[in-house]
Structure 1
Amino acid sequence: MTVRAIRGATQLDADDAAHLLERTAELMTTVLDRNELTPDDVISIFLTATPDLRSAFPAVAVRQLGITDVPMMCAQEIGVAGALPRVVRLMAHVETTKPRSAMRHVYLHGTTVLRDDLADR
């Protein structure tokens, strides 16, 4: 097995706790599905939120999916002028036999502009 990192992001319509949890859960499940992974393959998850998101911790959404034994950390994304607002990002470290080139990064709800080179179309 090899350790790989998978990136992802999603944008929210508003800073609402239920909406943040829904979009973050969708992001995490899409990362797992598109990469044919199970929660047991996940080593750790780093989540960030832009400074305009304060309603909930994104890690709560991942825990609500049943992924409770994986180390997670939430942080605030740096506030760069003109940056895309209301964005939750994640970087998941996983164990897999797939090569780096086979990792499918996930950009949902308008976030493909963040990494057009990595976004799965």
Structure 2
Amino acid sequence: MRGVRGATTVEANCREDIFRRTTELVQAMAAENCIASEDIGAVIFSSTPDLDAAFPAAAAREMGWAEVPLFGTQEIASADGVARCIRVLILWNTDKGQGEIRHIYLHGAAVLRKDIAGN
């Protein structure tokens, strides 16, 4: 099993933005790593305290991930944190090595991992 990390930000605390950016992120993570939903052990979603208009995990359900175990949580409030940020951790059953995993950081979340953002 490998962990595939990703994060993104939204412009506003509204359901549409949360769903659009979460879908964009999860689709990019799956596409870049050739992840099939049946190979996913679980997905953990977190969001910063300033996002409460929707559950990011609900966007994955709308994408068709009905059989995938999804879990949502809230990040701690931190002065150094990125505002309106959604993070995703896909626990993926794969034979790929750690160095083959492509982590995805989009929009304002690119600052979280400048070393790999855009990869």
Note the C-alpha offset of 1:116. Answer: 1.9
Partner of 1:73 in structure 2?
A: 71
Partner of 1:54 in structure 2?
A: 52
Note the C-alpha offset of 1:112. Answer: 1.4
Matches within 5 A, 1:1-121: 3-121=1-119
TM-score by length of 2: 0.95
| % same residue | 37
Note the C-alpha offset of 1:118. Answer: 3.5
CA distance in 2, matches of 1:29, 1:75: 20
**Amino acid across the alignment from 1:5:** G
Note the C-alpha offset of 1:115. Answer: 1.6
**Amino acid across the alignment from 1:74:** G
SS at match of 1:5: strand
User: Which segments of structure 1 move beyond 3 Å, counting only runs of 4 or more?
Assistant: none
SS at match of 2:102: coil
Alpha-carbon displacement from aligned partner over 1:58-110 (angstroms, at most 9, x marks no partner): 01000000001111110100100131100000101001121110000000112
Tell me the matched-pair count. Answer: 119
Note the C-alpha offset of 1:29. Answer: 0.5
Contact 1:53 1:86 (C-alpha < 8 Å) held by counterparts: yes
Give the superposed CA RMSD: 1.0
CA distance in 2, matches of 1:89, 1:55: 16
Change (3 A) 1:104 1:67: same
Contact 2:46 2:73 (C-alpha < 8 Å) held by counterparts: yes
SS at match of 1:24: helix
Provide structure 1 residue ranges, at least 5 long, that are not aligned to the other structure: none
Contact 2:43 2:90 (C-alpha < 8 Å) held by counterparts: yes
